[in-house]
């Protein structure tokens, strides 16, 4: 048998990550920060919501003899190119307090440095 401490730490991190994510989700919902049409990374919402809304908009436009315009964005590697300092700044601005911010900062810096894909001082990628 092999009892590697890394796998145990990984389990603890995953559990703590879920707890923090649930708390942040509650916080954001309670403050009404996200727009009602935001579907990405939200429970009980997905891209089908936007497809259905697009269909409704196209039918309404067709009925009213109006044009319907849609823009589709696919931001590749969005997580890997996230500007961590900017994210933490925005979380601070919406009222996330120091204990949680400190944990998030440490977790994100460790997570990104382990993957070797993100420089913590990198500027946000242009659209």
- Residue pLDDT, tens place only, 20-67: 888 888 898 899 888 888 887 788 888 888 899 999 999 999 999 999
- Please give the average per-residue pLDDT across 62-75, as a whole number: 89
Q: Pick the residue with more confidence: 3 or 68?
A: 68
Cβ(10)–Cβ(100) below 8 Å: no
Cβ(50)–Cβ(36) below 8 Å: no
- Please give the average per-residue pLDDT across 69-92, as a whole number: 84
pLDDT at 127: 37
CA angle 107, 19, 34 (to 5 degrees): 90
pLDDT at 2: 55
pLDDT tens for residues 83-121?
A: 888 989 999 999 988 888 888 888 887 765 555 444 444
Q: How far apart are CA 30 and CA 22, in angstroms?
A: 12
């Amino acid at each position: 048998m092999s009892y590697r401490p890394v796998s145990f730490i990984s389990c603890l991190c995953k559990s703590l990550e879920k707890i923090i994510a649930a708390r942040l989700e509650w916080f954001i919902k309670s403050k009404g920060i996200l727009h009602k049409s935001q579907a990405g990374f939200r429970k009980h919402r997905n891209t089908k919501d936007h497809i259905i809304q697009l269909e409704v908009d196209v039918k309404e436009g067709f009925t009213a003899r109006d044009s319907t315009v849609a823009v589709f964005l696919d931001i590749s590697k969005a997580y890997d190119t996230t500007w961590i300092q900017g994210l933490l700044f925005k979380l601070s601005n919406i009222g996330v307090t120091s204990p949680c911010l400190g944990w998030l900062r440490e977790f994100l810096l460790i997570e990104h440095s382990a993957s070797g894909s993100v420089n913590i001082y990198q500027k946000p990628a242009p659209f």
